[in-house]
Amino acid sequence: MTSDPSYYRWTQWIFLRLFSHWYDKAADKARPVEELIAHFRQHGTHGLQAFSAEYRSFSAQEWSSMSPVDQAEILMNYRLAYRKESFVNWCEALGTVLANDEVKDGLSERGGHPVERKPMLQWSLRITAYAERLLGDLEKLDWSDALKTMQRNWIGRSEGAQVFFRLDGHQQCLEIFTTRPDTIFGVSFMVLAPEHEWVQLLTTPDHKEEMDAYLTYVKTRTERERQSEVKQVTGVFTGAHAIHPFTGELIPVWVSEYVLKDYGAGAIMAVPADDERDRAFAEKFQLPVPEIIDRKEWPDAGREDRRGWLVNSGFLDGMLIPDAIEAVIRRLEQEGCGARRVNYKLRDALFSRQRYWGEPFPIVYNRDGVAVPVPDDQLPVTLPDLDNFQPTKEGKAPLARLAEWVQLADGSMRETDTMPGYAGSSWYFLRYMDAGNATSFAGEEELQYWKEVDFYIGGTEHAVGHLMYARFWHKFLFDLGRVPTAEPFRRLVNQGMIQGVIESLWLAREKKDGSHYFLSADLLEEKDRSQYVAIPVLIDFVRDYGTDLSYLDGEGLGKFVAWRPEYKEAIFECGQGVWQNGQFMPKKAGAVSSRMVTYSEVGKMSKSKFNVINPDDVVATYGADCFRMYEMFLGPIEQSKPWDTKGIDGVSKFLRRFWAMYVGEDGKMLLSEDAPGREMERILHQTIRKVRDDLERLSLNTCISHFMICLNELRRLECRSAAVLEPLIRLLAPFAPHITEELWHRIGHQGSVHLAPYPEADPELLLADEILYPVSINGKKRAELMAPRETAPSDLERAALSLPDIQRWLLGLEVKKVIVVPGRMINIVAG
């Protein structure tokens, strides 16, 4: 649906709104760019509180004298959809950009080619402008705490200070962010991210060679690796020095991959005395570690507890940490070399993809290269047909191949990147409210009627991706007055993931005799594991799928290399022999067939893992109702588990028996108008109550078992009474929508069963006349007692004590106390 032009027309439309709006921090909402331009014209940047990437100030006059190209560039700093240089995982050999998922240990998952971090001009969405609201509004939502915590951590708000350090021999000041400005007297070095724009500028000639080598090394490392290998400390000295704002001391400036470009200012002041990473770095490179916090009074306190007295810290000496933080910020502000600052871990969302399948951007570039929106009345910009979906040699998106599509008559050129999957998925729920609307993404009246999504059931895998983007788009549309609520999803429950088994082959990192070399999983020893990369295999090729010994036979290997031509000539070491180019060469006589064991692990079912099981097959065999009920029956909704059809027959039997209750083998209806027995009514009403209760707490698996129990009992009673069986259809309708609808019509109703009222339990009919009491001695059950519902506790006690079994057990014991819980149990305390 999101890939249909009549839908993505509105995705493009929303994108253009994002493009033409900026975030006003004073009003705390998005406003049209025209208003920003008006402000620039009158006041320049004076008095402006806007969310932007760079802080630049200019006067009204300076603005007016700028060229249109320069003005456009300035505006890009403010637009909510904007273009900037971003780092991507570039794979030269494949000529494409890869997702973090597709890169393993610096090599592409496909083919094992080197991948490097490369800056490219990309569209991004300024979600960071909404960070505070995305954080604050979480409070109002009826979501699980686990999910809220995840979003909070992802947004990662931290309070601290930005500090500017003058640089020795340079004009510029180096900006850093710290949550602990009080430790400023403990700074013994500075660290820049390798991508920091001043690395080249600051590196002195005698350190240049070492720095270039280091930067080359860092390029081969993905962000994920840089963040996961905590133990290895690497870095290079630039040769430059910063000047301490209070002491005037010279502080060496280093570059290290442990500092990330996109967080804070991309540079830190390192305080080895109070930061583990800084300390490890100082130890490795023998930098001083000045002590500045005295924690003697709080021996158990960690860094996070912020307990301690400041020492060796100039004017901060003798202060407690929280007081020192306040004092130092005040002083930094007075001296104009720093300010209080709130920082977020959340980063702007990369919105460009160099792929074919995606919504085209409704953007053209004029002769000056300025991005210009396609007018609303020319939307949608549709995805043109293409016969080659590869990126171009220069790394441009596949659409760039279509010169006649890209090049417009007036000399301007179309954007050739496409939008990512989450573009369409960020607002689809709004389209459901008014799917056919041709003049708006959804009509105002419809939006007012439906408002937001009352109840959203989704997997945790969307916790910080989809759910964050959708909230952001929704808030933006709310600012525009286009949706009535500030949040899209009021209540949210995380269902467990249906997992799959991921099957992979081990590929050696090093080629053997110039060929790719795969090793059967049963032959790989633990110690050699780091020398191999797991290459996922389409599970259709695998024999004994899901077992420890799942494998590819010769046929499977043939399919594998046909599917992955880059491994056409690879060597497959199978143990008993070697398979290559469709031939199996046994090592010794007697080995007949190849058996390439795959590595199996339970994980999410995902297109990228090639382990998706299509429910169509199950639906074709068992029907959609059965599939639906079996999924419910599997277990608690929030629990993840691998997909397994082992128990599906039970549900299938239930549905067939259910049908057989109503319809005879000759197709005739079996219902009678006879008055139902009391027991039948009780069974029905107890089932109604239990199903309603369990539905309320989303315990769907127990609902299904209540239906099974109900059916078993009604079958035992040979129930045909319409007074019982008619409400039962309505009760089952949400669980088995098709079969119930069919039965509903067969028993003579016209409308849909799904519009009929849901049955309510009659409390009068719920209670059984007799209750079977367990009789325990000291908490151990020794006998049972059947008694009428209204029996008084004292009578129950007498009856229990007189049971023969109980008398036998009580021989030689003294009864000390009898506990009777009416309707529940009887316990005799004896000793």
Site for RNA in 461-480 (CB under 7 A): 461, 463-464
Part in contact with RNA (CB under 7 A); list of ranges 94-102, 333-341, 667-675, 704-712: 704-712
For 13, 171, 241, the CA distances from 167, given in Å and listed in that order, are 46, 7, 6
Residue with smaller CB distance to RNA, 527 or 646: 646
Q: What number of CA atoms fall less than 13 Å from residue 433's CA on the CB side?
A: 22
* Residues numbered 603-622 forming contacts with RNA, rule: CB under 7 A: 603
Please state the length of the chain: 831
Q: Which position among 258, 309, 473, 662 is part of the footprint of RNA (CB under 7 A)?
A: 258
Kindly state the smallest distance separating residue 339's Cβ from RNA, in Å.
14
Q: Can residue 573 be called a binding residue for RNA (CB under 7 A)? A: no
278-297: contacts with RNA (CB under 7 A): 280
The CA distance from 403 to 700, in Å, is: 55
3-state helix, strand, coil in the chain (%, to 5): 40, 25, 40
Kindly tell me which of 421 and 465 has the beta carbon lying closer to RNA.
465
Single out the residue of 9, 122, 160, 476 in contact with RNA (rule: CB under 7 A): 160
The residues in 523-562 that bind RNA, with binding defined as CB under 7 A, are none
Give the CA-trace dihedral at 512, 513, 514, 518, to 10 degrees: -30
The site string for RNA over 91-130 (x = CB under 7 A, - otherwise) reads: ----------------------------------------
Contact set for RNA, span 798-827 (CB under 7 A): 805, 809, 817, 819, 821, 824-825, 827
For residue 786, the cross-strand partners are 772
For 700, residues 6+ apart whose C-beta sits below 8 A from its C-beta are 632, 633, 637, 694, 735
> Which member of 46, 656, 678, 789 binds RNA (CB under 7 A)?
656
Rounded least distance, CB 434 to RNA, Å: 34
Q: How many residues bind RNA (CB under 7 A)?
A: 85
Nearer to RNA, 485 or 701 (CB): 701
Is the CB of residue 423 less than 8 Å from the CB of residue 350?
Answer: no
The token pair that represents 710 in the structure block = 């109900």
Q: Which of residues 486-525 bind RNA (CB under 7 A)?
A: none
Matching residue, tokens 């039962």: 728
Using CB under 7 A, which of 115, 134, 150, 537 touches RNA? 150
Strand, helix or coil for residue 826: strand
Q: Which long-range contacts does 37-45 make (Cβ < 8 Å, 24+ apart)?
A: 37/75, 40/74
136 touching RNA, by CB under 7 A: no
Q: Considering the complex, state which of residue 186 and residue 488 has its C-beta at the smaller distance from RNA.
A: 186
Output the CA angle 102-108-110, nearest 5 degrees: 85
Residues 330-369 that bind RNA (CB under 7 A): 343, 345
784 binds RNA (CB under 7 A): yes
- Candidates 169, 636, 788, 793; binder of RNA (CB under 7 A) is 636
Sole window of 70-78, 363-371, 557-565, 634-642 interacting with RNA (rule: CB under 7 A): 634-642
CA nearest to 76, candidates 32, 25, 20: 20
User: How many whole angstroms separate alpha carbon 545 and alpha carbon 540?
Assistant: 8
The residue among 176 and 688 lying less far from RNA, judged by its C-beta, is 176
Instruction: Establish if 234 lies at the interface with RNA (CB under 7 A).
Output: yes
Cβ proximity to RNA, 59 vs 712, nearer residue: 712
715 contacts RNA (rule: CB under 7 A): yes
Q: Does 220 bind RNA (CB under 7 A)?
A: no
Tell me the Ramachandran region of residue 31: left when phi exceeds 0, alpha when psi lies from -120 to 50, beta otherwise: beta
- Number of neighbours of residue 214 by Cβ within 10 angstroms: 20
Among 259, 597, 661, 684, contact with RNA (rule: CB under 7 A)? 259
Residue 551: strand, helix, or coil:
strand
Nearer to RNA, 476 or 633 (CB): 633
**Considering only residues 59, 608, 778, 807, which one is a binding residue for RNA as defined by CB under 7 A?**
778
Contact criterion met (CB below 8 Å) for 598 and 549: no
Work out which of 529, 641, 678, 745 binds RNA, going by CB under 7 A: 641
Residue of 676, 682, 657 lying closest to 743 (CA atoms) = 657
Between 369 and 823, CB nearer to RNA: 823
Give the distance between the most distant pair of CA atoms in the chain: 108
When the beta carbons of 134 and 363 are compared against RNA, the nearer one is 134
Least distance (Å) between residue 656 CB and RNA: 7
For the chain, helix (H) and strand (E) counts, in that order, are 27, 36
Residue numbers 178-197 binding RNA by CB under 7 A:
178-180, 193
Which residues does 126 contact at the CB level (< 8 Å), separation at least 6? Answer: 23, 51, 79, 80, 81, 82, 348
SS3 434: coil
Near RNA by CB under 7 A: residue from 438, 589, 772, 811: 772
Q: Which of 224/749 has CB closer to RNA?
A: 224
230 binds RNA (CB under 7 A): yes
Strands 236-243 and 293-294: unpaired
Reference 294, options 312, 272, 278, 280; nearest CA is 312
As to burial, measured by CB atoms within 10 angstroms (0-12 exposed, 13-18 middle, 19+ buried), residue 616 is exposed
- Minimum Å gap between C-beta 165 and RNA is 13
DSSP 8-state class, residue 444? H
In the list 266, 358, 360, 420, the residue contacting RNA (rule: CB under 7 A) is 266
Tell me which residues in 683-702 interact with RNA (CB under 7 A).
699, 701-702
